[in-house]
Structure 1
Amino acid sequence: MAEELYDTKQPESVAAVLKVFALLQALSENNETGISDLSVRLAMPKATVYRFLQTMMTLGYVRQEKDSERYGLTMRMFELGTKALQYPDLVELSKNHMQLMADTTGETVHLGTLIDSEIIYIHKVDSRHMLGMYSRVGRRAPLHCTAIGKVLMAWEDPERRERVLKGADFKRYREKTIVDSQAFTDELLRVKAQGYGEDREEFDDHIRCLGVPIFDRLNRPIAGLSISFPTFRYDESKEAETVAMLQGASRDISAQLGCTRFPLDN
């Protein structure tokens, strides 16, 4: 595939662009990678890999670890990515709420939005504990077994939801993963009725999540907020309190995005 993308038949300028993006994609999938690994993976000569990496370093998009001589992406790539968001202010509007919720609960807080038929984490605040949910900004996750995915689908327009779910893979990740489309539809009805979504060890073992949607000026769901708990720290007696905190954050963020009739108040 790599050879087909940038073979000698391509105009030189086009081939160069394809090589740059192939390198960026490879670094995004496996950060801190060496030249030899990139050369083998992309079927690209080491000298070419080195030359492109040095240019991208000069421009500030790639960094090199001095100790290991491996390469990775810089935060400048993340800054570019946030500019591609439909709602570029979303992360900035959510940061303080997320930090407050992380400080209050001690747990990891995520902000995610829809990309293709998955969700992508666009901001997170880590747990103060050693043990918590593994994630990173830019990581994709499935719709059918995450709290954010469920709330995005539960409040989505039925026609668009159907289109999105056609591209979803109802893969089984854990024993409790919902893999039947009818069962997932029933789950979405339950989520909307109760005003929040749950992941009950459906995506990661021993991790439970609570999530709520965020709405835009047309009162449509455009993102989700969630808090993730290791099961041994999950206190069901505090569930209502946690959900109220999430809904309060969503209400304020949604209002700042122009939402005039907060759907979770219905």
Structure 2
Amino acid sequence: MKLNRTTLRTIDILKLVSKKPDGITLDEICEKLDLPKTSGYDIVTTLVQTGMIHVARGQKQRYTIGLTAYRIGINYTNNLDFISTIDPVLKAFSREVGKTVFFGIRSDDAIVYICKFEPENPIITTATVGTKNPIYCTSLGKAILAYSDEEETGQLMERITFKKHTERTIVTREELEKELERVRDKGYAFDARELEEHMECVGSPVFGQDGNVMGAISVSSLYKPTEDYDALGCLVRTKAAEISKLLGFLGKC
């Protein structure tokens, strides 16, 4: 799929400006993003007119994030109000299993970690709230993919660029499709040391009121050969079903 270059440049400018609370000049924007000044000026001027960025006029105009962009962000946050409902459940679940618990959502071909809860003596995990990981080698990603719309999943798989992170990483579409069949059969997914050599994760989908998969929860810990990961998967599946019901899902998980 061909992406629009101007749109991509606009997004890059917004990201850059959002990281500069004291403002940034047009020259600095063009230099950091390697943009022709005429293109940068046209985009920035449009963003100012729409309220996406704000201009402080002085000897040199400096740009900061605008009110419209802020309102969009607030609307996104408001749409995540369900987080306050699932937070205490996930926190208690982390204490119950003695492992790190995540809630994540899909962002194109990646997973974004929205919540993270750790037990009293946590094993350090590299994933933090707001970070992304590939959808095809995370238990969160597989759990979401397995229960997403079939056509949408097929289109997504065409865009995935498989990369080998460990010797166990799935690196072909065919392997991933077989894996998703196993996920549907069990109701939970594994990241069997596919992203990090020492970490094993188990994830299960969370459904919203409309019956669509809205995200997934996972449990992560250091890999132990003696651990019964299928038993852990059943626990995660049960907890995901409980959360789905809290969010208004009336179907069978």
**TM-score, with length taken from structure 1:** 0.68
- 2:220 maps to amino acid: S
Aligned mate of 2:172, from 180, 198, 218: 180
List runs of 5+ in structure 2 lacking aligned partners: 36-57
Matched, 1:156 2:126: no
Matches of 2:101 and 2:88, distance apart in 1: 11
Matches of 1:172 and 1:158, distance apart in 2: 25
> Contact 1:107–1:132 (CA<8 Å) still a contact in 2?
no
List runs of 5+ in structure 1 lacking aligned partners: 6-16, 62-75
Cα distance change of structure 1 residues 173 and 160 upon mapping to structure 2, 3 Å threshold? same
User: What is aligned with 2:133?
Assistant: 141
- 2:227 maps to amino acid: E
User: What is aligned with 1:248?
Assistant: 238
- 1:249 maps to amino acid: K
SS in 2 for 1:132: coil
User: What is aligned with 1:14?
Assistant: none
How far has the Cα of 1:143 moved from its partner? 1.1
Matches of 1:101 and 1:228, distance apart in 2: 12
Cα distance change of structure 1 residues 172 and 77 upon mapping to structure 2, 3 Å threshold? farther
Matches of 1:113 and 1:240, distance apart in 2: 23
Cα distance change of structure 1 residues 50 and 109 upon mapping to structure 2, 3 Å threshold? farther
Identity of aligned residues (%): 25
Cα distance change of structure 1 residues 260 and 169 upon mapping to structure 2, 3 Å threshold? same
- 1:89 maps to amino acid: D
> Contact 1:132–1:228 (CA<8 Å) still a contact in 2?
no
> Contact 1:22–1:42 (CA<8 Å) still a contact in 2?
no
How far has the Cα of 1:23 moved from its partner? 2.5
Cα distance change of structure 1 residues 227 and 79 upon mapping to structure 2, 3 Å threshold? farther
Matches of 1:204 and 1:48, distance apart in 2: 50
Calculate the aligned-residue CA RMSD, in Å: 3.8
Would you say how many aligned residue pairs link Structure 1 and Structure 2? 222
- 1:82 maps to amino acid: T
SS in 1 for 2:137: coil
> Contact 2:210–2:249 (CA<8 Å) still a contact in 1?
yes
Matches of 1:49 and 1:214, distance apart in 2: 50
Cα distance change of structure 1 residues 48 and 229 upon mapping to structure 2, 3 Å threshold? farther
Cα distance change of structure 1 residues 78 and 130 upon mapping to structure 2, 3 Å threshold? farther
**TM-score, with length taken from structure 2:** 0.71
Matched, 1:236 2:224: no
Aligned mate of 1:93, from 85, 89, 99: 85
Cα distance change of structure 1 residues 131 and 260 upon mapping to structure 2, 3 Å threshold? closer
- 2:14 maps to amino acid: F
Q: Bigger shift: 175-184 or 90-99?
A: 90-99
SS in 1 for 2:136: coil
Aligned mate of 1:258, from 241, 248, 253: 248
Cα distance change of structure 1 residues 19 and 102 upon mapping to structure 2, 3 Å threshold? closer
SS in 1 for 2:217: strand
